[in-house]
Structure 1
Amino acid sequence: MIVVAFRSARQGAAVVPRRAAAAQRRAAARLRRAVPNFYSLSMRARRVGLLWAGFSLAALVSIALVLRRSDRLSDLHIYHGALADLRAGRPLYEYVADNGGPFTYPPFAALVLWPITALPLGVVEALWLAATCAAVVAIAVPVGRALAAGHTVAPARRPDQGAARARMSTPVLVAAVATILMLSAPVQSNLRFGQVSIFIVLMALLDGTAAPSRVRGVLIGVAAAIKLTPLLFVLYFLACGRYRDAARASATFVACGALALVFLPTESLTYWAGTVAQTSRIGNLASLGNQSVHGMLLRLGMDERSLPLVWAALVAGICALALLRARRLAGQGHPGHAAVLVGCATVAASPVSWTHHQVWTVLAAMLLVGSVGVTRRLAGVALLASMVLSLGAVLGPVSTRPGVQFLFENARTLGVGVLCVAGFGAVAVVAGRPGPPATSRRAWLRAAVASLGVLAFFAVQPLPAGADPTFKAYRLADVANPRYFFVCRGPVECVRYGTDAPVTFDTRSEKTKVRVNGVVADHVARLDYHSAPGGPPRTIPLLAAYPGVRTFSFRSATMVHGRLVAYAADGRPLAEYADELAAARSPS
């Protein structure tokens, strides 16, 4: 009995510490649930601080680089100069800046920008750069929230945990979005040119993601009155059944136009009666900077009769699918994804989508990276890479096939078109539980096979090379310009310059193009330039500029894969020049 009592006492004594330890663990668990994990909070705060420090550094370096440029804020200078002319009584749409740029926006934009003429240009430049950086931060807020909502669905065991994780991850994601956005080509382009596009995106995004109110839709109307592309959001409102929002946006757009008509009647009539349709005033629409569907078709060399019909059909299909996808996204509680998708459709559909218009594409790429599925995330990474880097410039030296060149140089157009059609992968926009390793491996394999298939498809395409979007052959009226015709001036000098060779020429490299100028022998009947293997040739005009001598001149973005071929009257090739063109220094 004594032994049994002793054992019972020992067991009882051991039970007490175990019960106490269990009680302590339960108390600690209750404390963790009641009080935030301050270590995690401090780690998160450090991440947020580092990200914002990176954003600030990127912004300061970008601004410093912009201010060092001789052509800094050129579009802002156009706004300032055009409005100064308008205040002096000269026509707004006849203004031409020193760089040849005109004022291209609706007259209401002139009213909005009117205050910049009341300040010295240096002050306007500083305020504009600061406002552009602030707009980047403001854009990052709704996009970061959309990403945070997508990252917190599956892992949370209780609804309150999901909401808490969303609140805690939102600051990190907002800072990350702002930093990446600042480093992207579209924002850098907005800073460099002093563009209004970043503010148009901000207004459209805020209105597209806003909660129901009596003023929702007004910002869209104002943005469309400054730049017409946000009008697509009116169709988005109608597709979603938000008829009052569509009405408010339309009424605001009309009211802004009426206000401009009252204060600027002549300019309003000039713009809406014809200037609005003169897209050629904006610049060379076939250049690589124009990453719209229209620009891609121009680079394909489509003839003028077919171009309007093909462009209209493609744009109608892309916009219709994008609006349907956006409606479904909005209905499933993803207004941020829906608004960004509609914004991407404006980039694809507009006749002109310069780099500074393509902020929407960067936002879409980040949302894709934050979605579920290997394929979608890889697509987001690829699209984001194309928006930070110029794939045509970076990968051009390794792409000898014109189809692959076309893919790289039109990656932004093709990417935004696929995105509009796919709609973030059929609304799979939230992060789910990770699949088993075998499933992940199969997903990576499918993505790799699909990527190789795309490259193989474009590798065999006999597409016109997208490497020469700046191609232009000069005519007889251009002979007087020494920039285009630089090898010889006058009949005696040009005769001496020519040799017994069928073609004698020289090259001159500039920042964005290479020029070729020379003379041809009497027995040369035709001169063709092939910009890349597989592409159709360009016939170079042979100009009888001086008695007894014929000269020629043309330009192209690069001569790396160029080939110049001279033909006799019977079609027989006389000479071919490829190494001489490839030796020309590539533009920086």
Structure 2
Amino acid sequence: MRDRRVALVWAAFVVVALVSCVLVLRRDDRLSDLHIYYGALSDLHAGRPLYGFVAANGGPFTYPPFAALVLGPITAVSEGVLQGIWLVATCAAVVAVAGAVGVALTTRQSRRPLVVAVAATVLMLSAPVQSNLRFGQVSIFIVLMALLDGMGVVPPRLRGMLVGVAAAIKLTPLLFVVYFLATGRYRDAGRAVATFLACAVLAAVVLPAESWTYWTEAVRQTSRIGNLASLGNQSLHGMLLRVGVDEATLPLLWAGLVALVCAAALLRARQLTVEGRAGHAAVLVGCATVAASPVSWTHHQVWPVLAAMLLIGASGVAQRAAGVALLAAMVVSLGAVLSPVSTRPGVQFLFENARAVGVCLLCLVGFGGVAVAATRTVRRPAGGRGWLRVGVTATVAVAFFAVQPLPAGADPTFKAYALDDVVNPRYFFVCRGPAECAAYGTDAPVTFSTRAEKTKVRVNGVVSPQVTRLEYFSAPGGAPRAIPLLDAYPGSRTFSFRSANMAQGRLVAYASDGQPIASYDEELAAALRATTR
């Protein structure tokens, strides 16, 4: 019976993998990051600078030069063939990661095949793995190397080397070096550092110009990675940007929070290692890299999915509930799914940042949880209550966050369009021409329409002559955003802006004396609902 269940689950995995790969290949922007690797390396082989390449979608090559050496052979085949190979390799890496997690989930050999099959299927359904497939990313391979090395399942003389190679391709696994030191694996830490440096030196010898460019310029240019304030960046840094922390305060606040999260995760990882739970420890350190990195896109977030499965596989009810909640956040976008029921902007902000909050909480309390820690303090000595204090503090902070008004700075996609944008066909304007705009306008101070897109909502309309100023509030208590009134056509003034979410938005029109003459909040929400039906 067990063998039959294992076969059925693996069959489900194959179906999910095949459907996912087919859907990816049907997209116009399929494996867009792999396209960047392919184009950048083709340029490099043709004698052009690696970090000067920019793909049609605006994406540059962002990895260290050693990654170019590792990925160099991909140009030996056509890009179409490479896409198929990459998808198969990604699915194979998912199975390998599931196999490693299966070791941590159960010690019973008889149950392990079923556990591994379920873990692989859940991983394949998760947003991070789907993102790896869609973009053709290397993240799943980085996770696999760091996980195997962190768990210590590689031969003793090679331990640390996989982390060194992974860090030479993407820098975040360097946190595992600190984990090795914290757990007394000094030789592993030494091998990791030596391997990392050897890879960097090899790249410098083979690609001296690219190495100089990367380590002196590109490594500090986070703008090359994309809009770090977008909701896709579920790291501490991204969340602080969305909160609207000012530029002067951000570096110190971010550094302090990263130090707290990493210290808590590493201390708990050391304790887990002593308890013989090396798999849990490695996953916890991996989650800390997600929280601490300046940018953690969806495809980076494989670690929290593994953590969720480990929590679900635990014995405590509270841990399982936490695992289910974390897994739900990693499979679907709670901000999009639950926006209709989020009655306050702070709650909506919490939904939109659920992955970042979940990862940070996991790092702070380890594989316990506040409820579990609370029940154990009765039986444990007072020294164990430190984790309870950390967990309670984090929970209180999250609860406080949830009831606060959403700051205007938490609308990272906001943009008000200028007069030069009117002629751009990419932008949404309800009218283009004097007659069309005159016909669109009404007797109301502001007449507008909305258009919902995947990550933003566009608002466009015309204003009557008595309106001299227009402002948009992302949420109650937030600072106003000035909306330019555009004299695009004789006899009419138009406006256009975009916002991340209008669930709590308010548009206010002012007369020449500075007094508000019209306010639109329910109208914005109603227009958005009508647009998204």
Using structure 1 for the length normalisation, give the TM-score: 0.81
Supply the distance in 1 between the matched residues of 2:46 and 2:450 (Cα, whole angstroms). Answer: 44
Q: Which moved more, 1:578-587 or 1:316-325?
A: 578-587
Q: How does 1:496-511 map to 2 (within 5 A)?
A: 501-511=444-454
CA contact (8 A) 2:244 2:410 kept: no
Supply the distance in 1 between the matched residues of 2:177 and 2:371 (Cα, whole angstroms). Answer: 25
Which ranges in structure 1 are unaligned for 5 or more consecutive residues? 1-42, 150-165, 430-448
Aligned twin of 1:4: none
For 2:403, the aligned partner's letter is V
- Is 1:64 the counterpart of 2:7? The answer is no
CA deviation string 1:483-505 (max 9, x = no partner): 22633456787677656543343
Shift of 1:336: 0.5
For 1:190, the aligned partner's letter is N
Q: 1:427 to 1:496 in 2, by over 3 A?
A: closer
Report SS of the residue matched to 2:109. helix
Give the one of 294, 297, 305 matched to 2:248: 305
Aligned twin of 1:390: 333
For 1:96, the aligned partner's letter is V
Q: 1:351 to 1:87 in 2, by over 3 A?
A: same
Identity %: 74
Shift of 1:210: 1.8
CA deviation string 1:294-328 (max 9, x = no partner): 11111112211111111111111101111111111
Say what the alpha-carbon RMSD is for the aligned residues: 2.8
Shift of 1:475: 3.7
Q: How does 1:520-539 map to 2 (within 5 A)?
A: 520-533=463-476, 535-539=478-482
Aligned twin of 1:158: none
Supply the distance in 2 between the matched residues of 1:71 and 1:306 (Cα, whole angstroms). Answer: 38
CA deviation string 1:49-69 (max 9, x = no partner): 111111111111111111121
For 1:108, the aligned partner's letter is F
Q: 1:480 to 1:90 in 2, by over 3 A?
A: farther
Q: 1:397 to 1:467 in 2, by over 3 A?
A: farther
Q: 1:304 to 1:490 in 2, by over 3 A?
A: farther
Give the one of 249, 256, 259 matched to 1:316: 259
Q: 1:174 to 1:420 in 2, by over 3 A?
A: same
Aligned twin of 1:118: 76
Aligned twin of 2:202: 259
Aligned twin of 1:103: 61
Aligned twin of 1:152: none
Which ranges in structure 2 are unaligned for 5 or more consecutive residues? 373-391
Supply the distance in 2 between the matched residues of 1:206 and 1:483 (Cα, whole angstroms). Answer: 46
CA deviation string 1:526-556 (max 9, x = no partner): 3221334554433323455678765432112
Aligned twin of 2:304: 361
Aligned length: 511
Report SS of the residue matched to 1:527. strand
Q: Which moved more, 1:369-378 or 1:513-522?
A: 513-522
Report SS of the residue matched to 2:110. helix
CA contact (8 A) 2:406 2:474 kept: no
Shift of 1:111: 1.1
Q: Which moved more, 1:512-521 or 1:192-201?
A: 512-521
CA deviation string 1:178-200 (max 9, x = no partner): 11111111111111111110000
For 2:92, the aligned partner's letter is A
For 1:320, the aligned partner's letter is A
For 1:172, the aligned partner's letter is L
Supply the distance in 1 between the matched residues of 2:151 and 2:175 (Cα, whole angstroms). Answer: 15
CA deviation string 1:320-363 (max 9, x = no partner): 11111111111221110010000000000011101110000000
Shift of 1:586: 4.8
- Is 1:130 the counterpart of 2:88? The answer is yes
For 2:161, the aligned partner's letter is V
Report SS of the residue matched to 2:338. helix
Report SS of the residue matched to 1:424. coil
For 1:69, the aligned partner's letter is R
- Is 1:145 the counterpart of 2:103? The answer is yes
Shift of 1:382: 0.5
Q: How does 1:42-441 map to 2 (within 5 A)?
A: 43-149=1-107, 166-211=108-153, 213-425=156-368
Q: 1:466 to 1:130 in 2, by over 3 A?
A: farther
Supply the distance in 2 between the matched residues of 1:403 and 1:281 (Cα, whole angstroms). Answer: 30
Q: Which moved more, 1:577-586 or 1:107-116?
A: 577-586
For 1:46, the aligned partner's letter is R
**Higher-Rg member (1/2):** 1
Q: Which moved more, 1:65-74 or 1:521-530?
A: 521-530
Q: 1:586 to 1:343 in 2, by over 3 A?
A: farther
CA contact (8 A) 1:402 1:466 kept: no
Q: 1:370 to 1:93 in 2, by over 3 A?
A: same
CA contact (8 A) 1:300 1:466 kept: yes
CA contact (8 A) 1:513 1:587 kept: no
CA contact (8 A) 2:236 2:258 kept: yes
CA contact (8 A) 2:167 2:196 kept: yes
Supply the distance in 1 between the matched residues of 2:531 and 2:469 (Cα, whole angstroms). Answer: 26
